[in-house]
Structure 1
Amino acid sequence: MNRLSFHFLVTYNTKVFFYVFVLLWAACEGKIKLPENIKVPAIFAFGDSIVDQGNNNGIKTLIKSNFKPYGKDFEGGVSTGRFGNGKTPPDLIAEELGITELIPAYLDPNLKLEDLKKGVSFASGGSGYVPETAKLASVISLSDQLELFKEYIGKLKGAVGEEETNNILTNSIHLVVAGSDDLANTYFTLGVSKFYDINSYTDLMVSSASSFIQEIYKLGARRIAVFSIPPIGCLPAQRTLAGGGVRMCVENYNQAAQLVNSKFSSEFDSLAEKLPQSKVVFIDIYNPLLDLIQMPQNYGFEVADRGCCGTGNIEVVILCNKYSGTCPDDTKYLFWDSYHPTEKGYRVLVDEILQNYVNRFI
């Protein structure tokens, strides 16, 4: 494996963030109780590996996780292509809202009609807002995810009719989770910084993200949750690659994430006002995740600077495999591999963030 491929594998996913979204309302006995007039029939997801439920399984790319030890704590210990040890944010959101237990990948060959009605993920691990990011990883770009969404809508109309399809699209939650790979891989690792300054590049990210949100709005999405970039400089792999001998958080990476987040916030607030009947909500996961990384003991974790898989410093996707070994107890770890949280990590983050967004989609 050449140096470029190695760097890509260990930096590709900075997305750790995600966990976030069961963030919609307050939970009661494990299930979120919505007002009787509020219905959320389905969950849809677009973006990168945080919400990829297995779409990368059937495409030619190195960015896959359909092998052990991924899925160690999933139902039956099956490696489904989810980038973690168990359930991921789309599953947790659907579970808490009482929709269904699992959200499948749209490209799952075993997809059923009932799945279509309750939501699917179009996301692809390694993708990003900037088109070059998906090309680099040989994964499904956001523009291609949009085409899959259109195809899905056609199938749903054929199954339940146009009126019910419109009802599902209007009232469902559409998760958009991307941008980490644009910074960690395309900008910092592959030298795009030689051609763009960080201000220009983050402008490009914001423009691409805004266009995508407007496109899914045109197709019927109204409740749209857009997640911020996490503190990518504090992810285990980034600490290893650029944090020096003591693996400190990489400050310029975090500063880049904060810059694009500030631009995202302004742009999405503007979209929410411009798009009639829309609820475009920008969700800050940067600060909650940073707090969890800096003070893991406050949340019941013992290890937050490395993952459970292998040494935890560098292993991700094919570097985290059946020969890598795993930690004795992944419930003590915030991260499963060097990029993605454990299922427990996702759940804790969800609970932490819920209170800040309890009424935004009602």
Structure 2
Amino acid sequence: MEVPIAVLGAGSFGTCLAVLCARQHPVRLWARSAALAEAIERDRRHPGRQSGLVIPKPVSATSDLATALEGAAFVIVAVPSHAVREVMTQASRWMSPNAIVICTAKGIEFETGMLMHKVLEDVLVPSQHARITCLSGPSFAQEVAQRKPTVVTIAGTEEKYAIEAQAMLSCPWFRCYSTDDVVGVEVGGALKNVVAIAVGMSDGMGLGLNARAALMTRGLAELIRLAMELGGRLETLGGLSGMGDLMLTCTGDLSRNRQVGLGLGRGRPLEEIIAELGEVAEGVQTTRAACRLAEKVGVELPIAEMVRRVLAGEATPDQAGRALMTRQLGREYDPDRP
């Protein structure tokens, strides 16, 4: 059965999801820029990174939120994490009370330390909270656009709504698993970007594959520690939204966060790297927020803290690497240490 779908955010991933959903449903793709919406409508292509992706007629682009949201049964939130509160505060005025929300933003709000589902709960009415779901996992937009096999996780505190979203999104080249562990899925999706910057720095400095493996493994330990302290489950971090997304983002050169790290490791200024990317690298914003949240709940994130120091200009990548290698020795796993 066809149902109207709204996709908020016409970046790489939002556009790819709009095309994915349009195979069976009418989709309205919201772009903040009127010029971008007009270009998509006129040319049936995205003028940015996904310029090779043909946008079919079931997708209509608009810069008007009310138009995008009218009667939508599913609302896919595909804006950067720092824009979720602003966009969804406006969107809440026009959303159907029965719409299922699918958030793809991967980050932590700096001012509040909130994960994205908590930000959404903050701006939506209580009756809509159960319908909030979060999509995460190893999913480069370019490969989704090319219909290459992609497998992700969708989480909802009321899993029946995650299952509805799972059924709507899944197709022969895009498979979703469901879970009720929203915290685990969101922490994995947010913090893996920070670890990817660290791995990129190591690779940029030519420190080798041993160092890469160590950073990914100890980075996963940081994902697990923070997620479990916040109420997430261990098995989630060993799944697609934890280990899976971490592996992809740390090693795949399509990763913007990895590209930030590579540039820093090669001695380039952060501002120059960001300008060249042209799109948001979520890990840059998330690093400060994750470190602040970890300090608040009493969890050690040494890799994230070193990335924070490099991004803030308080240390060079070389100094950060040396600091990690000369930390106090200890057990690999200590159940009594957060």
Name the larger-Rg structure. Answer: 2
TM beyond 0.5? no
Greater length-normalized contact order (CA 8 Å, ≥ 6 residues apart): 1
TM-score, length-normalised on structure 2? 0.38
TM-score, length-normalised on structure 1? 0.36
